[in-house]
Amino acid sequence: MRSKIVAGNWKMNLSQSEAKQLCKEVNSLNIGSGIEVYIFPPMLYASDCKALATNIKVGAQNAYPKDSGAYTGEVSMWQLKEAGIAAVLIGHSERREYFGEDNALLKNKLEAALAHGIKPFFCCGEPLEIRQNGTFLEYVKSQLEESVFHLPASEFEKVVLAYEPIWAIGTGQTASTEQAEEMHAAIRSWVEEKYGKEIAENTAILYGGSCNPGNAQALFACENVDGGLIGGASLKAADFSVLVAEETWTILN
C-alpha cells in the first residue's frame, strides 16, 4: 500500500511567530487515518517548527547538494539531516524558473538528499504552452528521465513524486480530475517500465496546483493521485484541515 500524503508548501510566507502558530495549529488537526502530513516552512523557521511538530513531519523547501564549504547562502542536505529535518522539495517550478535550476542540478540534489536519508519530494510539471501544444506527457517524462530514473530501485522507492502543472500553481486554475489522472497514470506507467509493478504500485504521486478544500476530494479520489502538495491552502489551518480530514479521503473512494 502506498502512502497518502498531504504536504504544505508555505513558500516565502509568514513571520516567525505566524509560522510557529500555524505549525501548532496544523500539528493539532484531526488527521485522517493513514495520512502523512508534512509542512515545508521557510528554512529560517524549520527548527522552530521541528520543535513543535509531534504529529506532522517538517521538510525544507530547498537544499544544496554539497555537504559543506564555500557556498554562501546555501544550506546542505547534511545540515538538514543534523537538524532533524525529514524531507526536502526538489525541482519545484519556482526554483527551476527563478533560480535557474536544471534537470542536472536536480539530479545532484536528489542524490544528496538520499545519501543523507532526507526524503525527497521531486516535483515535475509542464508550463502552459506545453500543455497547449499537447506534448505535456513527453515533457514530464523527460524531466523524470533526466533527474530521477537513473536511481537504482532501492533508492527510487524512497522518493515521493509530485505532479504540479505550472499553469495551475497559484492561479486558481486547478487541473481537472481527468487531466490529473491522465498524467498520474502515465507517471506510474513509466515507473513500472523502469522499476517494475510492485515499486510502481508503492510510489506516492502527489498532485499540486491550486488544490483546495473545494476540489481536493475529487482529486484525491482519482486512482493514481495519492495526495497533494499544497501552496495557498496550506497557509490557513482551517483550509488545510479539510485536506487532511478523513472525510475528504473516504467519501468518494
List residues with catalytic annotation: 92, 164
Q: What is the DSSP letter of 43?
A: G
Residues 164 to 183 in contact with ligand PGA, rule: CB under 6 A: 164, 169-170
* Residue 20 DSSP SS3: helix
Question: C-beta of 38: minimal distance to ligand PGA in Å?
Answer: 12
Question: C-beta of 123: minimal distance to ligand PGA in Å?
Answer: 7
Question: C-beta of 45: minimal distance to ligand PGA in Å?
Answer: 17
Query: Of these, 42, 59, 120, 209, which contacts ligand PGA (CB under 6 A)?
Result: 209
Q: How many C-beta neighbours within 10 Å does residue 123 have?
A: 25
For the stretch 75-79, contacts whose Cβ atoms lie closer than 8 Å and that sit 24 or more positions apart, written own/partner, are: 75/43, 76/112, 77/109, 77/112, 77/113, 77/115, 77/116, 77/118, 78/112, 78/116
Site for ligand PGA contains 61 (CB under 6 A): no
Task: Using CB positions, name the residue nearest to ligand PGA.
Answer: 231
Site for ligand PGA contains 46 (CB under 6 A): no
**Dihedral pair phi/psi, residue 87, rounded to 5°:** -150, 165
Site for ligand PGA contains 9 (CB under 6 A): yes
Query: Of these, 65, 120, 227, 232, which contacts ligand PGA (CB under 6 A)?
Result: 232
